[in-house]
Amino acid sequence: MTDRIASGFHPFVLPFLIGMAFVLSYCLFGMIRIILQLSKEDRRKFFMSLITPKILLKDVKDIFLNCLIHVKLWKRNPVLGYMHSSIAFGWFMLIVLGHIEVILFVPARAKLLYYPIFFNYFVSENETTLRGAVLFFLMDFFLLVVLSGIALAIIKRFRSRLFGMRRTTKPAALDLVGLYSLWAIFPLRLIAESLTADISGGSFLTLPSNWLAHLFMGHELYPLPAWWAYSIALCIFMCVLPFTRYMHIPAEMMLIPMRNAGLKIRNLNKGFAKVEVLSCPGCGVCIDACPMIASRSNVKDCTVYLNRQLRRGNDKRIDQISDKCLLCGKCQAVCQVGVQGPDLRVARRSTRGYGINQDYSNISATPLEKGHKVLYFSGCMSQLTPRIGKAVTAVMDKAGVDYEWMDRDGGLCCGRPILLAGRKEQARQLIAKNTELILASGADTLVVNCPICYRVFREEYNLPGVRVVHHSEFFAELVSKGMLSPQNGIGKICYHDPCELGRGCGVYDAPRELLSRCGTLVKAGHEKELSICCGGSLGSLSLNFSQREAITRNSYADLTVADPDVIATACPLCLSTYSRYADRPVMDIAEILMNQQ
């Protein structure tokens, strides 16, 4: 393999160089800017994580598995997984192999950035070696892999249903430019390499097509236009990249180390949140996942569109989208990149100024009776469904638990609803008041039957020496200790995973274990982290009663696919929401347990 062109340069590499210089400098400046925007503490955390070998190793592993191989996507949808990893990993291998070729055959050119990309144009094969043949084979192989991915991508664009996606994102104009140029790059590369294959050498893909080209175009081939076109396609793709969804490629490589460093969303337009928004690939998986699409008018309120509007800075739409969301967290659960849709929205809500800022300093809650080991907190929602409180206390009485009902006659709110409305300061006041009450009582266990309260107790409260448990976990423990022995006999039960308990706190098994002792558990259409929000969520500020109905009916229909006798849930809000439209009994776990004693 020798250099064919003495100068090692041809003007057709210029478009590529321009595009490359632009995208690299854009990303570099963007990266510096974002790091500067981080708070001092966050920046220290980030840099420390980069010099901690364990986290660094995790960064490299995560980037390789998620950005190149797309492991998460493979697990969810193998065809889409193949499509993405073939393009990403195939392209990556083409670049790596290109560099290897340059280093092996023309080491003098190794410092030229464009050489590995246009290697086949600049060299001629003077003798066939095994080493060269293997490399050429690999190059053709990975080109074929990428081309197969592109073919799938083209089919997906027009028939997304074939790939298991009912709805996909409507691309913006510039996204289309990026998309078409990306589609064009690899077929053009194939044509260009084929036309020079008789000079530079090739393998199973380029040599036969070179032969074909000779067959149709005669002895003299004119490869230059193809090389120009290939270079220009690369240039267009790289020049529009920062302004399209393809920005997720560089952004995700930054997001992974930042997330592994433990950064959280603070300011919506700066730092970590910005990286997260840019990392959204706009695939639209969150659209099918969103419970709100039960009515079609809500499609444009999914997380993918929030990210798009955040990039555009369309304040009015950002507000509308942020206020509407139920914050059920399903988009985050299915997102390949792990964009924290709910947290982004709450961050947006918290930027609002209010003329009336609630203040609870005038409230002096009555201290609790001391000497009980267990505190029971039923929460605001359970006051609308008193049968849950009755059932919980009846079960605890039966098991002989020594408890004190904290808010039997009403009490303070746990603080989560106001936190979801983005009013952190107010939530902090409520949290402080409740913390004081709980710690003063001297109890060592806090039983909560409302997942909304449960989540805030776990995430935001600091209760040293107090174990916070959801009543389903608490009862499961009592059953395993033999203090409760439920009879099996209620029939078929379908369990609905409340968002805050399942996706929010990761409690999936305790309720199922309890219910399987009371009856026969049947499956819902979507379970566990894919469960569909009941539509009653306090997360949404602007959805009104009638808009929620479609969501509830859709979610309820998903629970009744196996025709259960009873719908069970572990959340007072889900219970009252479903009860409105239910055609069979909807019961809390505690009630079922009480009935089956």
**What's the CA gap between 250 and 342, in Å, rounded?**
23
Q: Residue 395's CB: how many other CB atoms inside 10 A?
A: 24
Check binding of 536 to other proteins (CB under 8 A). yes
Check binding of 412 to other proteins (CB under 8 A). yes
The set of residues, in sequence order, having a beta carbon less than 8 Å from that of 330 and lying 6+ positions away, is 286, 289, 290, 291, 499, 503, 529, 530, 531, 532, 533
**What's the CA gap between 273 and 246, in Å, rounded?**
17
Closer to other proteins by CB, 99 or 317: give it: 317
Closer to other proteins by CB, 462 or 544: give it: 544
**What's the CA gap between 330 and 303, in Å, rounded?**
10
Q: Are 589 and 472 in contact (CB under 8 A)?
A: yes
Applying CB under 8 A, among 57, 354, 367, 436 the residue interacting with other proteins is 354
CA distances from 6 to 10, 132, 168, 221, 300 (A): 10, 21, 50, 21, 56
Among 35-43, 476-484, 520-528, 542-550, which window interacts with other proteins (CB under 8 A)?
542-550
Closer to other proteins by CB, 252 or 500: give it: 500
Backbone phi, psi, residue 124, to 5°: -130, 150
Q: How far is the CB of 418 from other proteins (least distance, A)?
A: 4
Applying CB under 8 A, among 223, 417, 504, 564 the residue interacting with other proteins is 417
Instruction: Report residue 187 as tokens.
Output: 């077929």
Strand partners, 588: 569
Applying CB under 8 A, among 84, 274, 423, 496 the residue interacting with other proteins is 423
Q: How far is the CB of 343 from other proteins (least distance, A)?
A: 19
Check binding of 496 to other proteins (CB under 8 A). no
Applying CB under 8 A, among 184, 380, 437, 438 the residue interacting with other proteins is 380
Applying CB under 8 A, among 11, 130, 545, 563 the residue interacting with other proteins is 545
Applying CB under 8 A, among 183, 360, 508, 581 the residue interacting with other proteins is 360
Among 27-35, 121-129, 205-213, 348-356, which window interacts with other proteins (CB under 8 A)?
348-356
Check binding of 408 to other proteins (CB under 8 A). no
Q: Are 569 and 498 in contact (CB under 8 A)?
A: yes
Encoded one letter per residue, x for contact with other proteins by CB under 8 A and - for no contact, window 567-586 reads: ------x--x----------
Q: Are 558 and 484 in contact (CB under 8 A)?
A: no
Q: Are 185 and 234 in contact (CB under 8 A)?
A: yes
Applying CB under 8 A, among 350, 383, 520, 579 the residue interacting with other proteins is 383
Check binding of 64 to other proteins (CB under 8 A). no
Name which of residues 257 to 316 contact other proteins (CB under 8 A).
none
Check binding of 362 to other proteins (CB under 8 A). yes
**What's the CA gap between 559 and 297, in Å, rounded?**
23
Among 8-16, 32-40, 162-170, 412-420, which window interacts with other proteins (CB under 8 A)?
412-420
Applying CB under 8 A, among 128, 358, 480, 485 the residue interacting with other proteins is 358
Closer to other proteins by CB, 249 or 541: give it: 541
Among 3-11, 252-260, 278-286, 381-389, which window interacts with other proteins (CB under 8 A)?
381-389
Among 18-26, 53-61, 422-430, 473-481, which window interacts with other proteins (CB under 8 A)?
422-430
| Residue type (1 letter), 467 | R
Among 184-192, 396-404, 416-424, 460-468, which window interacts with other proteins (CB under 8 A)?
416-424
Instruction: Report residue 251 as tokens.
Output: 């952004």
Encoded one letter per residue, x for contact with other proteins by CB under 8 A and - for no contact, window 428-447 reads: --x-----------------
Among 54-62, 268-276, 407-415, 496-504, which window interacts with other proteins (CB under 8 A)?
407-415
Burial class of residue 412, CB neighbours in 10 A (0-12, 13-18, 19+): middle
Closer to other proteins by CB, 358 or 488: give it: 358
Among 11-19, 56-64, 357-365, 462-470, which window interacts with other proteins (CB under 8 A)?
357-365
**In the chain, count of helices (H) and strands (E)?**
28, 10
Applying CB under 8 A, among 177, 541, 562, 582 the residue interacting with other proteins is 541
Applying CB under 8 A, among 117, 285, 543, 570 the residue interacting with other proteins is 543
- Indicate the DSSP class of residue 69: I
Calculate helix-pair angle for 53-62, 248-260, nearest 10 degrees. 150
Q: How far is the CB of 445 from other proteins (least distance, A)?
A: 24
Q: Residue 119's CB: how many other CB atoms inside 10 A?
A: 22
Mark residue 248 as left, alpha or beta (left: phi above 0; alpha: psi -120 to 50; beta: remaining): alpha
CA distances from 228 to 5, 349, 481 (A): 16, 50, 75
| Strands 586-588 vs 520-522: parallel, antiparallel or unpaired | unpaired
Measured over the CA atoms of residue 201, residue 202, residue 207 and residue 211, the dihedral's sign is negative
Q: Are 258 and 275 in contact (CB under 8 A)?
A: yes
Measured over the CA atoms of residue 176, residue 177, residue 180 and residue 186, the dihedral's sign is negative
Q: How many residues touch other proteins (CB under 8 A)?
A: 37
Applying CB under 8 A, among 33, 61, 161, 352 the residue interacting with other proteins is 352
Binding site for other proteins (CB under 8 A): 323, 352-360, 362-363, 380-381, 383-384, 410-413, 415, 417-418, 421, 423, 426, 430, 536, 538, 541-546, 573, 576
